[in-house]
Homo-oligomer: A and B are copies of this chain.
Amino acid sequence: MDPTLLLAHIRKHVKLDLPEQQLLASSLVEKSVKRKEFVLKQEESCKHIYFVNSGLLRAFHLSPQGKDSTIMFATKEWWITDMYCFVNRLPAMVNIQAVQDCELLSLSKDHLDKVFSEIPRFERYFRILMENAYSREQLRMIQNLSNTAKERYNTFLNKYPDISAHVTQKQIASYLGITPEFLSAIRAEKD
């Protein structure tokens, strides 16, 4: 169990003393997942949130008609879960699957609540994370509403070069909300 990367990430936002770091570390469980393996499946209960030490994950929703919509990708230093179902203790609406082999730190809802109570500065760290996550979603919403598919594709490439290099076009299309065929056509346009 190596919380080094997480502690470094936390340090960018708040200071934890040594006992706090140890308490946090004791709440974490290491989890390795292989490429294509699922960390969470739709309809399952979503009791954990994951910090990515290495690798790449994709969160996606499957509609009743089978349409695949990518909610987010998560790489090194990102937290990922089905937040809605995690906080409300409801069955998951999204699948989380490894795109590459991953090393994760897993934190259960019960442990998280305990850590919040015992380490107010960790709750601050999380408040900041949630502000950023909310802001990011809002920004994505603005862009989805006001830009064409082509513009959204270029924005995605610029914003997440490391991610776009490791996921398939099908997965990017699913993130942009278009079909793989149409993404292919967009890419074929000169410039």
Report which A residues bind B (CB closer than 8 A): 61, 63, 67, 69-71, 83-84, 87-88, 93-94, 116, 120, 123-124, 126-128, 130-142, 144-147, 174, 177
Contact = CB atoms under 8 A, between A and B. Distances in A.
Most chain B CB within a 10 A radius of its CB, from A71, A93, A135: A135
Most central of A116, A123, A145 by chain B CB within 10 Å: A145
Nearest to A176: B145
Contact of A127 (B71, B126, B142): B126
B123 A127 contact: yes
B71 A131 contact: no
A84 B135 contact: yes
A144 B177 contact: yes
A145 B83 contact: no
Nearest to A177: B145
A147 B128 CA distance: 31
Q: Looking at A124, A138, A140, which has the most chain B CB atoms within 10 Å of its CB?
A: A138
